[in-house]
Structure 1
Amino acid sequence: MKRPRIWHGGLLTIVAVLALSACSKEVADTEKDAPAEQHTEMDHSSMNHSSSGEVPATLKNAENPMYPVGSTAIIKDGHMEGMKGAKATIVGAYDTTAYIISYEPTTGGQRVENHKWVIHEELFNPGSAPLAPGTEVKTDASHMEGMENATVRIDEAQQTTVYMIDYVSTTNNDVVKNHKWVTEEELTKKQKDVGAV
């Protein structure tokens, strides 16, 4: 009577192992065949969070910015992890046209869509501002790897005050110096306004 029980238990173990193997393969195949659009979020890991602080010679200081140089503000709309909710110190304030752009990195890799921001003064021979959406022009901005000398497509133009800021990342406490750029609309004076965005 014992033999059938042992044999029966062994058979159940084999069946269970085979079932688990098939399940694992199915999960792996599902992940492998997942639609590409799930992985198309823009990666800002190659973005130069800090900069030398140099600005184009033709860039004009804002005459009466909402956030004067030396003042502080809260970043309510950040372009990358660690920005939103961080306290920013204003390093520079400039009146210009800011652009949302898309481009193929000169270093290769995935096309970058809807990058914020490049300013008019960072474009090669752009002519008069603002440029119309769809316009293609080269930039000498180096905010991200592969951006400098890239041909960019203008997606949106915004006449605004842009700010160069210092801030401490809310995710890893890295100190970021002379970050380019945030617009006036992306800053607030009140911490409570951040959660409402």
Structure 2
Amino acid sequence: MELQRKWHVGLLMVVAFLALSACAEDTADTKKQNTAEQQTEMEHSSMNHASSGEVPTTLKNADNPMYPVGSTAVIINGHMEGMKGAEATIVGAYDTTAYMISYEPTTGGKRVENHKWVIHEELLNPGSEPLTSGTEVKTDASHMEGMVNATVRIDEALQTTVYMIDYVSTTNGDVVTNHKWVTEDELTKNE
């Protein structure tokens, strides 16, 4: 009987250890995800949230965008602190290829990884066809410090409608005008 009781206690200890290990691993994964999101926000801290509203002359207006100019939508996936959950007013809607890129800033500093988004028309001599992952090309986009004339690596290409938006930051109340760019997948209908 004593041996059986010790065996039960030992088994309970093993089960408890495994359960706690699983919880710790889940917490570690959550911390990693939160750290990655904070890192993205920090990397985008030098981003020009607002712009003059000028767009490349070759950029074509979207024929039938999900979110027409003048309508509103909610940002469900923001690139910077204060975007997620903000109401966006659509200033422009354009059909193009949007690229997630990585690059070394021309002004020095840490390499920027997975920046969202630069569009096809902001690349220097890209040709008419969308570029594939791994392609290197220069850009004249000025969304972030050190981006103009930087050699960028294409990490992902997405054929989509991109939007230029106005919004009010959910964290500090700043009004951001003509922010470039958010994709259709990063917005949702305003309920």
Q: Corresponding residue for 2:151?
A: 151
Q: Corresponding residue for 1:10?
A: none
Cα distance in 1 for partners of 2:159, 2:130 equals 8
Secondary structure (helix, strand or coil) at the match of 1:41 reads helix
Q: How do residues 18-57 of structure 1 correspond to structure 2 at under 5 angstroms? A: 41-42=39-40, 43-57=43-57
Equivalent residues, number: 154
Cα distance in 2 for partners of 1:49, 1:190 equals 22
**Deviation per residue, 1:17-76 (Å, 9 max, x gap):** xxxxxxxxxxxxxxxxxxxxx799242111000000000000000000000000000000
Residue type of the alignment partner of 2:39: E
Residue type of the alignment partner of 1:86: A
Q: Corresponding residue for 1:112?
A: 112
Question: Contact (CA 8 Å) 1:120, 1:129: kept in 2 or not?
Answer: no
Cα deviation, residue 190, structure 1: 4.1
Q: Corresponding residue for 1:3?
A: none
Question: Contact (CA 8 Å) 2:98, 2:158: kept in 1 or not?
Answer: yes
Secondary structure (helix, strand or coil) at the match of 2:39 reads coil
Q: Corresponding residue for 2:67?
A: 67
Cα distance in 2 for partners of 1:143, 1:93 equals 18
Cα distance in 2 for partners of 1:66, 1:85 equals 18
Cα deviation, residue 148, structure 1: 0.6
Q: How do residues 1-197 of structure 1 correspond to structure 2 at under 5 angstroms? A: 41-42=39-40, 43-190=43-190
C-alpha root-mean-square deviation of aligned residues, in Å? 1.4
Identity of aligned residues (%): 83
Cα distance in 2 for partners of 1:186, 1:112 equals 21
Cα distance in 1 for partners of 2:107, 2:129 equals 28
- Scaled by the length of structure 2, the TM-score of the pair is 0.78
Question: Contact (CA 8 Å) 1:97, 1:129: kept in 2 or not?
Answer: no
Q: Corresponding residue for 2:13?
A: none
Residue type of the alignment partner of 1:150: A
Secondary structure (helix, strand or coil) at the match of 1:49 reads coil
Residue type of the alignment partner of 2:49: H
Structure of higher CA gyration radius = 1
Secondary structure (helix, strand or coil) at the match of 1:50 reads coil
Cα deviation, residue 107, structure 1: 0.4
Question: Contact (CA 8 Å) 2:74, 2:190: kept in 1 or not?
Answer: yes
